[in-house]
Amino acid sequence: MLQVFENLSTLHSFRQSLLQSGLSLGFVPTMGALHQGHLALIERALQENDQVICSIYVNPTQFNNAQDLAKYPRDFENDLAQLQKFSNLHVFLPNDQVMYPAPALLKFDFGYLEQVMEGHFRPGHFNGVAMVVSKLFHLVKPTRAYFGQKDLQQTRIIHRLVQDLAFDLELVICPTIREEDGLAMSSRNRRLSPSERIAAKLIPDTLFSAREVIQVRKNSIEEIKNLVHKHFEEAGLRIEYFEIVDRFTLLPIENLDNVKEVALCIAAYLGEVRLLDNVIFGV
């Protein structure tokens, strides 16, 4: 039977009982509207830990756009129904009062790591992410925490958060789970119209073909970028950014000769819906 903790005292007593019995705890933070990508993180966490907590909380402080927050899909009943089948899984389902009894004053600054891509186009986003993840880490005290490579920049930010604040936990980054046509699973995909959903295939198609161009034909960075922008223009879709970066530092790569592992990162709009994706590979 799935236990749902809605307040800090029930979460705390559960955590204390695990500590006393020496059991390990996996943690999967989510914003709900669960899909197979989330479930894959939960399954991995269940394989590697005695017990697992999945949190479901749409964190307002990481939205820099009020419309995006208002329209973010929420489907808690269906989320809980999807989780019923798992043993040793528990849900932390806090509300805003539990997470932010007072508006946070503390600010995070991740320097160069947040000046590119998501950090550049969504000012304040990673401050909100770092705030909620720090609070969740303190409350849940996980042995291991699981995040998706789908949000690559977020994984790098959290990596630094854990390092800089000495959180005593292991970070586990899991591969991106895709739909059959290649589109990365995302809660935001629910907001796509049928025609936008079909058009969204251009995102993975572009990433995979750019990867091939880099690996096989060794074109220049500028040529690849031009090609990607051309694909999107021809399809009438808006690209917010397409970056070729070092997979660890996330800094743009000027010349492919000196790098070992590259990430291609994209944010694009399908109508009003902003989708993110990336691929990582060796060159």
Closer to ligand AMP by CB, 99 or 224: give it.
99
Is 159 labeled as catalytic in the residue annotation?
Answer: no
Q: Helix, strand or coil for residue 180?
A: coil
- The residue from 79, 114, 151, 243 that contacts ligand AMP (CB under 6 A) is 151
- The residue from 5, 14, 18, 37 that contacts ligand AMP (CB under 6 A) is 37
- The residue from 184, 239, 253, 268 that contacts ligand AMP (CB under 6 A) is 184
- The residue from 176, 189, 206, 278 that contacts ligand AMP (CB under 6 A) is 176
- The residue from 49, 127, 143, 186 that contacts ligand AMP (CB under 6 A) is 186
> Does 142 interact with ligand AMP (rule: CB under 6 A)?
no
For residue 283, give both structure tokens.
Answer: 């060159």
- The residue from 18, 31, 239, 279 that contacts ligand AMP (CB under 6 A) is 31
Choose the binding region for ligand AMP from 118-126, 169-177, 196-204, 214-222 (rule: CB under 6 A).
169-177
Q: What are the distances in angstroms from CA 170 to CA 45, 71, 109, 166?
A: 11, 33, 22, 11
> Does 27 interact with ligand AMP (rule: CB under 6 A)?
no
Q: Helix, strand or coil for residue 29?
A: strand
Q: Which of 12, 35, 38, 138 is catalytic?
A: 38
Give least dist CB 34 to ligand AMP, A: 8
Beta bridge partners of 238: 269
Closer to ligand AMP by CB, 118 or 151: give it.
151
Output phi, psi for 86, to 5 deg. -90, 135
User: How is the beta sheet containing 170-174 ordered, strand by strand?
Assistant: 3-5, 89-92, 51-56, 25-30, 144-148, 170-174
Contact at 8 Å (CB) between 234 and 256?
no
- The residue from 39, 41, 83, 157 that contacts ligand AMP (CB under 6 A) is 41
For residue 91, give both structure tokens.
Answer: 């849900």
Contact at 8 Å (CB) between 34 and 2?
no
Choose the binding region for ligand AMP from 10-18, 63-71, 115-123, 181-189 (rule: CB under 6 A).
181-189
Distance CA 175, CA 185 (A): 11
- The residue from 53, 174, 263, 266 that contacts ligand AMP (CB under 6 A) is 174
Buried b (16+ CB within 10 A) or exposed e, 120-146: eebeebbbbbbbbbbbbbebbbbbbbb
Distance CA 206, CA 227 (A): 9
> Does 185 interact with ligand AMP (rule: CB under 6 A)?
yes
Choose the binding region for ligand AMP from 3-11, 13-21, 177-185, 235-243 (rule: CB under 6 A).
177-185
> Does 273 interact with ligand AMP (rule: CB under 6 A)?
no
The residue among 106, 120, 109 whose CA lies nearest residue 160 is: 109
Contact at 8 Å (CB) between 191 and 73?
yes
> Does 55 interact with ligand AMP (rule: CB under 6 A)?
no
Within residues 245-264, the interface with ligand AMP by CB under 6 A covers none
Residues of this chain that bind ligand AMP (CB under 6 A) = 30-31, 37-38, 40-41, 147-148, 150-151, 174, 176-177, 184-187
Q: Which residues are catalytic?
A: 38
